[in-house]
Structure 1
């Protein structure tokens, strides 16, 4: 039987990356904030975290391990977000060039690439109170991962 803290950790490990990915796609398709290369780097660990968290509901004997791995993916995304935010704020140089978004299916690839907006990793397309989307991802992901790890560790205390 799993404890209350493990249930909360499991649900948080699923809800947090799913919500952050949903926010990323709403900003991309709803508001035209196209992702740069480092934005994509932040999404991949969240995809893995969602898959691991979903698996934790099915693979019961390995639930805690899967939730901990999901938290590791969330933390990884947050650390990439922190690095990306530092690039946007000019604290250090990035390691990528500008990137273009994908090409639509059935179109001429060269024309589609030339028609796409170029997205620089060093310019934040949107901020709130001086915090960019990468900065928010870093705050929510790192904070959420710490909370998940703390909830998992709480069960071991007697």
Structure 2
């Protein structure tokens, strides 16, 4: 089964990125967890991987494309490592190992919600999400912590896929 995933790594990376984005949006939509600035940065990495995976699936099917199969896996692995780095930085800020960015408060990509605006106009205090507070923790890890572990695992699988592709040449 692992060999099947590694042989189709560009597709798997694309599907995993879509799944991670869907999960993040589900936490936001159904769980009520508004993303902070670093949460949004982590999503940007998955959007990038989604685009790269789609482009790479086309590239490797073009004339001369099979020569690029290993390189595409290495690039995807590097992208997953960037995601892991952002997630580790975010998790470290949550654990107070280091400070997060000063401007680390966001109401999401769409701006302030109607409910937040109504609460603000009613004189209630509205607290935006902060990068140094973990709103959700499972088994001792926040969403950023879980994302870091998943991203590191995906980077390792990307490296295995690249090595496998290189051996096919």
Query: TM-score under structure 2 normalisation?
Result: 0.78
Question: Does the CA-based 8 Å contact 1:49-1:71 persist in structure 2?
Answer: no
List aligned pairs for 1:80-91, cutoff 5 A.
80-91=86-97
Residue correspondences, number: 153
Q: Would you say 1:75 and 2:85 are equivalent positions?
A: no
Which segments of structure 1 move beyond 6 Å, counting only runs of 4 or more? none
Partner of 2:52: 52
Partner of 1:29: 29
Once residues 75 and 24 of structure 1 are traced to their aligned partners in structure 2, the CA distance between those partners, rounded to angstroms, is 19
Partner of 2:165: 155
Question: Does the CA-based 8 Å contact 2:11-2:54 persist in structure 1?
Answer: no
**Aligned-pair distance for 1:25?**
0.5
Say which SS state the counterpart of residue 96 (structure 2) adopts: coil
**Aligned-pair distance for 1:26?**
0.4
Compare CA radii of gyration and give the structure with the larger one. 2
Partner of 1:123: 133
Once residues 44 and 21 of structure 1 are traced to their aligned partners in structure 2, the CA distance between those partners, rounded to angstroms, is 9
Question: Does the CA-based 8 Å contact 1:50-1:70 persist in structure 2?
Answer: no
**CA separation of 1:89/1:128 partners in 2, compared to 1, >3 Å: closer, same or farther?**
same
Question: Does the CA-based 8 Å contact 1:56-1:64 persist in structure 2?
Answer: no
**CA separation of 1:4/1:126 partners in 2, compared to 1, >3 Å: closer, same or farther?**
closer
Once residues 112 and 90 of structure 2 are traced to their aligned partners in structure 1, the CA distance between those partners, rounded to angstroms, is 27
Structure 1 unaligned blocks of 5 or more: none
Choose which of 78, 99, 104 in structure 2 pairs with 1:93. Answer: 99
CA offsets per residue over residues 66-124 of structure 1, 9 Å max, x none?
3332222222111100110011011111123341313269x8xxx58x57651110000
**Aligned-pair distance for 1:37?**
0.5
Once structures 1 and 2 are overlaid, which stretch shifts more, 62-71 or 85-94?
62-71
